[in-house]
Every structure is written in structure tokens, then in C-alpha cells.
């Protein structure tokens, strides 16, 4: 076969591999039957509607949202100054700092979760919600630093000096001329961080307790006891939520410029 | 000087352990247009940044209008700076860029609008007020930067390489623009350049810098006609520069007797290519290269004195490469240098 035929074939297979499951989930969620199955047995919206009636999903969805929004905001509060310092000053050990900040992406989540549980929660009785919050903040931090750094590196640093010479303080210059120009990068980092945190499983798996569960963990637990299409319906809803967020971001921010 | 406005006293500037400027003394009068001229790395930009307050001196003092401003922070000096890259705020319109400093000063309402509008109009960009910097040409951006600084009525306006990013036609326009601004406002202007032609054309006074120190200060005429050192001489076009030893020209391998005694105090002599007389004289040279430059023809000669550059009227008969010529370095035309190194 020539590359001319081969490459669309490979691309097609890849797309089926990546997106195929999504369609299976959607189809399964629209089933009228009682068990999770593909192809679906009949068509109905009953499982989609049922998702909204399950209390534990509602609680864990709230927890996931709280972690995703709170953890990402915390990561940005830490990450923006870090990115600023890394891009504007010649720091000793800047490479090391960059590496350390990136570690949560490199180290498997299982290890992070286990370590937090074994050395923070178990010996000190550390509040598990707080541990989850720290873990998610740390997981999102690399994205915050990297994406914001990218925008900062594209921004001339002499505009800050110009602002200072026009009477602004250094801090004022940051808020008046730096922040407005990296706003797109910050929003991009927020969305990436939000999605990363929201979809996080391995770390959260270890840091769950009575009444404290993120949505993905709750879904795993639900599936162990109840094998009905509501889990597919919830997955489909979450997938649409993600698509919606990314679509809006692309539409209003040109998201792909930053990632 | 009694009417000194801006004074630098024994100013030493350093980046970490690297000293960029050492013990610099400079007095500038109110309303003067001064050029800091020198090759890259000579400390001219560093000096300018320290005047603006963007760099704290390691030692020394800066006085402006009778007040010591050495430790006054950059945002309180009211010194304007037009950056080489213009440094406009990309997220703000031309109008808001120009209004930026005035707003911080607390100017508002009609007063603000009147000043900003007048500022934009004075640089000929009235119809561009609503544009963003990214939608303007380089020359237009620079004029916005100029207006942004000038509406603040700065005590001193600094310009970093104001003409180097512009094409030849815009350069002429900008020169005229800067001269107009200076004439209309009487602002004290200091601009940094590596281009001697710009400095000669624009400045009232030129400060030639080299290796973190001042090599010569003078009017454009003084710098052009009476360079004091080998470096300045070469920089302003005296391309044949020789050291003097015991009244003789020092070449790479011998001392050459001159036709008349050199001035007593001179440490060196310099000739422009067009001062060299070709066709007669005590020296002999071989033409290595020749080029036609409109009004004149330029020659590069291989001589016992070393390479000599000469320039003669293009109407004169030309000399072929390889031919041997007599030439003279007339003592009367030479610029005597008080410093060779």
C-alpha cells in the first residue's frame, strides 16, 4: 500500500479508537433496557433523567466541582507569580524549579495518592477534603505554570518599564499592563486545570472517605453495585459538558493558541 | 556650568560584578538635545536607563533641576523614555496608551480628553486614536510612544535608538518630528545612538562613549572636525589614523619621518580619505582596490605605512588596480589627536 492510502487509513483507525467509545457510551445511555449494554435495547431518556435523581452523584458532583474550581484557582494564585518570576528574573535553579513544578504530571497519580494517604492522612489524621484539595492543586499547578509562562514569554517585558516611567508602581504595572495581556493564557490554564482536576481518578481513589468522594470515584463505586445504563448517561453528560467548555473557550479565546 | 539642569556625578553602573559604566561625569543644560553616541556595549543605554531610574547606580549621584534624584524611584522622576521597541501597551488603544500616565496622575474628564487629543494630534495620528498598536506601522507606533511620553510634560525625554528601526524616509520624518517637539516644548532630550550620522544631524551636543567612559564631548562640528582620540577619529570617518612617536608616524614595523614637525602635544594624527593627496608626495603605494561612489572614487592603497584609504573626485583620471602611485598625507589637514589609545 502506498502512503497515500495508508495514512488516511491509520488516521481513520486512530479516530475510531479515540472517539468510538464516546458514541458507544451515548448509544448505551439512551437504552430503554435495564442493564448497561451495547447495542442499546430500545431508545429512551429514562436513564439520563435518573442520573439527576441519585443523591450521591449530586454530592460527589458538588465535591468534584469544588475541587476543580477551588484547586485550579489555588494553582493559579501560586502559578501566576511563579511563572512571572521564572520568565522575568534570572533565578538560580530555575530549571530545577520548573522540573519540580512539573513532577505531578510525571509521577503516576497512584503514587501521589498513596503517599498523601500514608504520610499525611493516616499519621496526622489530616482532613481528607483538605488533602484532596492540596492534591488537586498540586496536580493542576504544572498546567498553570506552563500555560501562563507561555503567554508571559510572548509579552515584551519593557511595557512594564514603560508603565513605571509613566508613574505606575511595579505592582501596579503588573496588574495594569501584564495581567490584561495574559488574560487569555490564564483562562486557558484555568480550563485545562479544571478538566484535569475534574477527570482525576488515581489520586482521588486513595483520598476518599465517608461522604467525601469525587464524581469519578463515586461512579466507579456505583458500577460495582448497580450495572444500569445511568452510568453511561452520566458519562455522556460529562463528556458534553467538557466539549461545551472547550468549544466556548475556543470560540471566545482561541484556546488552541495556548495549548 | 552654572545652568546645569541634569548632572551625573562620578556615576558607576554595574550589572552584578560587571561594571558597565565607570565614574561618569556629565552636565546637561536645560533644553539641550544631547546624543549619547558609541558602539554597542559602550554603556550608553545603561547610562540612559540609570537616568530614567530603571537601574540603580553602584555609586555616584544624579541631580536633576537642583534636586538629588539618585534614590528617587523611576515612577516619581517624571522622566520620559521612548523605547527602541516602543513598548506600547498592546491591549490598549492609541488613545488609552497616551492617557495611561495622565490617568495615574489623576487627570480626568475634559482635561484628560483635551490633553490626550492634543497629544495624539501633535504627532499626526488623530484619525488613529481608536486603533490598537498592533494595527499601526512601526513609525506610527513610535509616534504614539513619543506622544505618550510628551503628554506627561517630562523634565527630560530619553530616546533609545529612536531612528534605528525606521527606513530612510521615515528617519528624515522622525528627525524633523523630534526637532519640532524640542523646539515647541523646549524639553531636554537625550538620545542614544550607535549611528554617528544621526548624532551629527540631530544633536546640539554629542557625548561619545567607549568602554563605559566618555571619550569626547562636543558640538557636532567639534566631534566631526576635531576628534581628540583615535577611536573618535575613526568613528567620524578619519579612516587613516596613526600614532605619533617622537614626532614620527608609528606604523606596524617602523617610524616614518614627516615632511614637517608634528604638533608638540599630539599623540596621533588622523586623515579622512578625501584629505589624502594622490599623484604626488613623498610616499609610494600600490592600488589594491577601487570603487566608484558617485561624486568620488575610493581607493585602498597598500603602502609601507600600512593600508591607506583615499578618496578623489570622480572626474579625476582613475588609477587601475596594481598600479603604483605617489601620495601625500598633508600635515596641515590632519586632525591632531591628544590621545591615541
- With an 8 Å Cβ cutoff, are A166 and B104 in contact? yes
Q: Enumerate residue ranges in chain B where pLDDT < 50.
A: 1
The contact set of A with B (CB < 8 A) is: 155-156, 158-159, 161-169, 172, 176-177, 180-181
Confidence of residue A258 (pLDDT cuts 50, 70, 90): low
Q: What pLDDT is recorded for position B260?
A: 73
Q: What pLDDT is recorded for position A137?
A: 93
DSSP per-residue string spanning chain A = --HHHHHHHHHHHHHHHHHHHHHHHHHHHTB-SSS--SS-SSB-SHHHHHHTT-HHHHHHHHHHHHHHHHHHHHHHHHHHHHHHHHHHS--TTHHHHHHHHHHHHHS-HHHHHHHHIIIIIHHH---HHHHHHHHHHHHHHHHHHHHHHHHHHTS-THHHHHHHHTT--HHHHIIIIIHHHHHHHHHHHHHHHHHHHHT--HHHHHS-BTTB--HHHHHHHHHHH--STHHHHHHHHHHHHHHHHHHHHHHHH-GGGT-
pLDDT single digits (tens) A148-168: 999 999 898 899 999 999 999
In this prediction, residues A134-149 reach a mean pLDDT of 92
Same-domain check for residues B46 and B22: yes
pLDDT single digits (tens) A98-120: 888 888 888 888 888 888 888 88
Q: In terms of residue numbers, what domain contains B284?
A: 235-337
pLDDT single digits (tens) A219-247: 888 888 888 888 888 988 988 888 888 88
Nearest-by-Cβ selection for B83 from A162, A167, A177: A162
Nearest-by-Cβ selection for B101 from A155, A166, A180: A166
- With an 8 Å Cβ cutoff, are B83 and A169 in contact? no
Topology annotation, domain A54-257: MetI-like fold (1.10.3720)
Q: Is B86 helix (H, G, I), strand (E, B) or coil?
A: coil
Same-domain check for residues B185 and B211: yes
Same-domain check for residues B251 and B181: no
Cβ-Cβ contacts under 8 Å, B54 against chain A: 161, 164-165
- Closest-CA residue in chain B for A179? B91
Q: How distant is the Cα of B264 from the closest Cα of chain A, in angstroms?
A: 50
Structural domain count of chain B: 2
Q: Is B340 helix (H, G, I), strand (E, B) or coil?
A: coil
Same-domain check for residues B246 and B165: no
Q: Does the pLDDT value for residue A54 go beyond 90?
A: no
Q: What pLDDT is recorded for position B261?
A: 73
Domain-by-domain residue ranges, chain A? 54-257
Cβ-Cβ contacts under 8 Å, A167 against chain B: 75-76, 78, 101, 104-105, 152
Same-domain check for residues B199 and B315: no
Question: Which of B230, B251, B277 is the C-terminal boundary of a domain?
Answer: B230
CB neighbours of residue A100 within 10 Å: 12
Same-domain check for residues B271 and B194: no
In this prediction, residues A241-254 reach a mean pLDDT of 80
Kindly report the average pLDDT of chain A as a whole number: 87
Same-domain check for residues B196 and B56: yes
Question: Which of B230, B259, B284 is the C-terminal boundary of a domain?
Answer: B230
Same-domain check for residues B71 and B92: yes
Q: How distant is the Cα of B87 from the closest Cα of chain A, in angstroms?
A: 5
Cβ-Cβ contacts under 8 Å, B89 against chain A: 159, 162-163, 177, 181
Confidence of residue A255 (pLDDT cuts 50, 70, 90): low
- With an 8 Å Cβ cutoff, are B54 and A158 in contact? no
DSSP per-residue string spanning B143-195 = HHHHHHHHTT--SEEEEESTTTTS-HHHHHHHHHHHHHHHHHH--EEEEEES-
- With an 8 Å Cβ cutoff, are A156 and B89 in contact? no
Same-domain check for residues B83 and B130: yes
- Closest-CA residue in chain B for A184? B91
- With an 8 Å Cβ cutoff, are B89 and A177 in contact? yes
Distance between terminal CA atoms of chain B? 28
Same-domain check for residues B177 and B271: no
The CATH number covering residue B267 comes to 2.40.50.140
- With an 8 Å Cβ cutoff, are A168 and B104 in contact? yes
Q: Does the pLDDT value for residue A34 go beyond 90?
A: no
- Closest-CA residue in chain A for B145? A162
Q: Does the pLDDT value for residue A1 go beyond 70?
A: no
- The distance of Cα B166 from the centroid of its chain, to the nearest Å, equals 16
- With an 8 Å Cβ cutoff, are B87 and A159 in contact? yes
Nearest-by-Cβ selection for A180 from B75, B80, B91: B91
Interface of B with A in 56-75 (CB under 8 A): 74-75
Q: What pLDDT is recorded for position A259?
A: 52
Same-domain check for residues B262 and B224: no
- With an 8 Å Cβ cutoff, are B85 and A161 in contact? no
Q: Is B164 on the interface with A (CB under 8 A)?
A: no
Question: Which of B177, B199, B230 is the C-terminal boundary of a domain?
Answer: B230
Q: Is B126 on the interface with A (CB under 8 A)?
A: no
Amino acid at each position: 500500500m502506498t502512503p497515500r492510502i495508508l495514512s488516511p487509513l491509520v488516521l481513520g483507525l486512530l479516530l475510531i479508537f479515540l472517539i468510538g467509545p464516546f458514541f458507544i457510551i451515548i448509544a448505551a445511555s439512551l437504552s430503554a433496557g435495564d442493564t448497561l449494554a451495547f447495542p442499546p435495547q430500545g431508545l429512551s431518556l429514562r436513564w439520563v433523567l435518573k442520573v439527576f435523581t441519585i443523591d450521591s452523584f449530586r454530592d460527589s458532583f458538588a465535591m468534584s466541582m469544588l475541587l476543580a474550581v477551588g484547586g485550579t484557582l489555588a494553582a493559579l494564585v501560586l502559578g501566576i507569580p511563579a511563572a512571572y518570576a521564572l520568565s522575568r528574573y534570572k533565578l538560580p535553579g530555575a530549571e530545577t524549579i520548573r522540573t519540580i513544578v512539573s513532577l505531578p504530571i510525571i509521577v503516576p497519580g497512584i503514587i501521589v495518592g498513596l503517599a498523601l494517604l500514608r504520610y499525611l492522612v493516616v499519621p496526622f489524621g489530616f482532613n481528607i477534603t483538605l488533602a484532596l484539595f492540596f492534591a488537586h492543586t498540586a496536580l493542576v499547578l504544572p498546567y498553570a505554570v506552563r500555560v501562563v509562562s507561555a503567554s508571559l514569554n510572548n509579552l515584551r517585558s519593557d511595557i512594564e518599564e514603560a508603565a513605571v516611567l509613566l508613574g505606575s508602581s511595579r505592582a501596579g504595572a503588573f496588574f495594569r499592563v501584564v495581567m490584561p495581556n495574559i488574560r487569555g493564557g490564564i483562562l486557558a490554564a484555568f480550563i485545562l486545570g479544571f478538566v484535569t482536576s475534574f477527570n482525576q481518578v488515581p489520586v482521588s481513589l486513595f483520598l476518599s472517605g465517608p461522604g467525601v468522594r469525587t464524581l469519578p470515584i463515586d461512579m466507579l463505586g456505583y458500577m460495582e453495585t448497580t450495572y444500569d445504563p445511568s452510568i453511561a448517561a452520566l458519562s455522556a453528560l460529562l463528556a458534553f459538558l467538557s466539549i461545551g467548555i472547550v468549544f466556548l473557550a475556543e470560540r471566545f479565546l482561541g484556546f488552541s493558541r495556548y495549548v | 556650568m552654572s545652568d546645569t539642569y541634569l548632572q551625573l556625578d562620578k556615576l558607576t553602573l554595574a550589572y552584578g560584578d560587571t561594571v558597565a559604566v565607570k565614574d561618569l561625569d556629565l552636565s546637561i543644560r536645560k533644553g539641550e538635545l544631547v546624543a549619547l553616541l558609541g558602539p554597542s556595549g559602550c554603556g550608553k543605554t545603561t547610562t540612559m536607563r540609570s537616568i530614567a531610574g530603571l537601574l540603580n547606580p553602584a555609586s555616584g549621584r544624579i541631580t536633576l533641576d537642583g534636586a538629588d534624584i539618585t534614590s528617587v524611584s523611576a515612577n516619581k522622576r517624571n522622566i520620559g523614555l521612548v523605547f527602541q521597541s516602543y513598548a506600547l501597551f498592546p491591549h490598549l488603544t492609541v488613545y488609552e496608551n497616551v492617557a495611561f500616565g495622565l490617568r495615574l496622575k489623576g487627570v480626568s474628564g475634559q482635561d484628560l480628553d483635551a490633553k490626550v487629543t492634543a497629544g495624539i494630534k501633535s504627532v499626526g495620528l488623530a484619525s488613529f486614536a481608536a486603533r490598537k498598536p498592533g494595527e499601526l506601522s512601526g513609525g506610527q507606533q513610535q509616534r504614539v510612544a513619543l506622544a505618550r511620553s510628551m503628554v506627561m510634560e517630562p523634565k527630560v525625554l530619553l530616546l533609545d535608538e529612536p531612528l534605528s528601526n525606521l527606513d530612510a524616509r521615515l528617519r528624515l520624518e522622525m528627525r524633523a518630528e523630534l526637532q519640532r517637539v524640542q523646539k515647541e516644548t523646549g524639553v531636554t532630550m537625550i538620545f542614544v545612538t550607535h549611528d554617528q550620522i544621526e548624532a551629527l544631524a540631530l544633536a546640539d551636543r554629542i557625548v561619545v562613549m567607549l568602554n563605559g567612559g566618555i571619550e569626547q564631548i562636543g558640538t557636532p562640528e567639534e566631534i566631526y572636525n576635531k576628534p581628540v582620540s583615535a577611536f573618535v577619529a575613526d568613528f567620524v570617518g578619519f579612516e587613516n589614523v596613526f600614532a605619533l612617536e617622537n614626532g614620527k608616524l608609528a606604523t606596524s614595523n617602523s617610524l616614518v619621518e614627516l615632511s614637517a614637525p608634528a604638533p608638540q602635544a599630539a599623540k596621533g594624527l588622523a586623515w579622512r580619505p578625501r584629505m589624502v593627496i594622490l599623484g604626488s608626495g613623498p610616499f609610494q603605494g600600490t592600488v589594491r582596490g577601487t570603487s566608484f561612489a558617485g561624486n568620488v572614487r575610493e581607493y585602498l592603497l597598500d603602502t609601507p605605512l600600512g593600508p591607506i584609504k583615499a578618496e578623489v573626485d570622480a572626474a579625476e583620471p582613475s588609477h587601475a588596480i596594481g598600479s603604483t602611485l605617489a601620495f601625500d598625507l598633508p600635515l596641515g589637514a590632519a586632525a591632531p589627536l591628544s590621545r591615541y589609545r
